[in-house]
Chains A and B, each alone.
Chain A
């Protein structure tokens, strides 16, 4: 899932400076699961903002609503009748949701309440670890299901470098060396031949904004033209 972390309160306070009526929009999917921007987090943030502004003798009306997903038009449509009443919108969705919200309501300022950090697994409640950088050229088949682009601090395709430190990365004893893990897993599977071959330079398909249309589908305007 996509994981995010709430921004520092001071930063949020600064963004809302000067706005008197704000709608804080949560997202009920990834950010709700990772405890950053669901219904509960919307209520908590709103209470903090309300309190801080009262203490500053600068009261604000901050309301909350949480939609199922901010990255889907049908859910954002539920806000169409509400947004006009507010000076600004705050979004607790990931960067994708925030932008889709801003796109739907282009006349209203939209502020992010979270920092999106990546595609991660849920190791335990409140503990998430990044596993994918969505490079669009998946190499997991020959790296034993361990991503060197994400898990190696240098993103090496032909590791490990000389900085392996007792199985850990040179950047920290708490960060396992991805290539050490790749080696061990492939060795145990009898598949080391996969990494004996030189992996050619990546084409870095993630350098431009990407649009994805699945086979059999097309953009609506193309469909209309037919």
Chain B
């Protein structure tokens, strides 16, 4: 069980690229705070042909935005492959499964299972966080829907959704020693690929990947290393001091400072490209997930400079 007759679990472009042994390159797009489909199309136009798949965030940072599944459909219309993000904060298991069925029916083939930021961070801080199930249980549920054709309650699904299942991992949040074991739990739950938190502390990341290699986990799931180029010294400082679970070493800030006036953004891209070069050679890393936050128009340039173009074609 678990694979189609063609040998794929879902048959998404992302899955085909990873299975063929190519170095994957995925992007990210945050839906608008309104109904502007054009805004989604505009952002998507920058990502087209530069990335294999585009994560569509789900009310990221607990701020209301156009539904992830809806923005996914716009991407499909534009000829891009979405990666449907779903957080456990906003839906119970009924709503989650309903959205999964609907998204699949419209052509969504990748999904990323997340806990979600706490409501306190967002624009509706007094909202009730649902957390009916957690991200681990969500992975299990989607896998069971796909491979066993069963709803979470055990009932049969007519025409089960065949999704390529992703999840996040953060090697930079304490307790460090536990992080690889949490990855192991996600693998056991049935995850196919992992997209990590933005990486700035390369030493810590190397150590985590090494641990994952040693435990055989990188043979059981694909690891896409998370990369976010720094746009400015201010952004780096903010991420260093204000974003929980983010590890920005002082060297990064020093390099941005040292680049000179007006050149921090370019230095940020340079750092990102150096990281990507290392990831290409790193055992256990199968690709990069580029989170160019509100910087989608820069993605073609970053992809070019990171020498990941042209993207491989798969059938």
| A198 and B174 in contact, given A155-B131, A170-B244 (Cβ under 8 angstroms) | no
| A154 and B89 in contact, given A162-B245, A170-B245, A196-B185 (Cβ under 8 angstroms) | yes
List the one stretch of B133-141, B200-208, B284-292 in contact with chain A: B133-141
CB interface residues, B 54-94, toward A, < 8 Å:
88-89, 93
Which chain A residues border B132 with CB–CB below 8 Å?
Answer: 201-202, 204
Instruction: Tell me the nearest residue of chain B to A168, going by C-beta.
Output: B244
- Answer whether residue A105 sits at the interface, using C-beta atoms and an 8 A cutoff: no
CB interface residues, A 135-190, toward B, < 8 Å:
153-167, 170-171, 177, 180, 183-184, 187
Complex CA gap A217/B106 in Å reads 55
- Answer whether residue A223 sits at the interface, using C-beta atoms and an 8 A cutoff: no
- Answer whether residue B170 sits at the interface, using C-beta atoms and an 8 A cutoff: yes
Q: Which of A159, A177, A183 contacts B134 (CB 8 A)?
A: A159
- Answer whether residue A225 sits at the interface, using C-beta atoms and an 8 A cutoff: no
Task: Please state if B181 and A153 are interface contacts (CB–CB under 8 Å).
Answer: no
- Answer whether residue B233 sits at the interface, using C-beta atoms and an 8 A cutoff: no
| A201 and B137 in contact, given A171-B120, A196-B184 (Cβ under 8 angstroms) | yes
Task: Please state if A180 and B117 are interface contacts (CB–CB under 8 Å).
Answer: no
Task: Please state if B89 and A167 are interface contacts (CB–CB under 8 Å).
Answer: no
Task: Please state if A201 and B133 are interface contacts (CB–CB under 8 Å).
Answer: yes
Can you name 25 A-B residue pairings with CB atoms under 8 Å? A154-B116, A155-B131, A156-B115, A156-B131, A160-B175, A160-B182, A162-B168, A162-B169, A162-B173, A162-B245, A164-B174, A164-B244, A165-B173, A166-B174, A167-B174, A170-B244, A171-B120, A183-B175, A184-B175, A187-B177, A198-B185, A198-B189, A200-B137, A200-B140, A201-B132
Which chain A residues border B181 with CB–CB below 8 Å?
Answer: 192, 196
Interface string of B6-39 (1 = CB under 8 A from A): 0000000000000000000000000000000000
Q: What's the nearest-Cβ distance from chain A to residue B196, in Å?
A: 9
| Chain B residues with a Cβ closer than 8 Å to the other chain, count | 37
The dominant DSSP class at the A interface is loop
Which chain A residues border B244 with CB–CB below 8 Å?
Answer: 163-165, 170
| Chain A residues with a Cβ closer than 8 Å to the other chain, count | 30
Complex CA gap A94/B189 in Å reads 42
Which of B140, B168, B174 is most buried by chain A, counting CB atoms within 10 A of its CB?
A: B174
Task: Please state if B137 and A157 are interface contacts (CB–CB under 8 Å).
Answer: yes
- Answer whether residue B300 sits at the interface, using C-beta atoms and an 8 A cutoff: no
Interface string of B180-205 (1 = CB under 8 A from A): 01101100110000000100000000
Interface string of A1-24 (1 = CB under 8 A from B): 000000000000000000000000
With A157-B136, A162-B173 given, name 11 new contacts (CB 8 A). Answer: A154-B129, A155-B129, A156-B115, A158-B136, A163-B118, A163-B245, A167-B174, A170-B245, A180-B175, A196-B181, A204-B132
Interface string of B238-254 (1 = CB under 8 A from A): 00000011000000000
Task: Please state if B118 and A156 are interface contacts (CB–CB under 8 Å).
Answer: no
Q: What's the nearest-Cβ distance from chain B to residue A158, in Å?
A: 4
Complex CA gap A161/B245 in Å reads 9
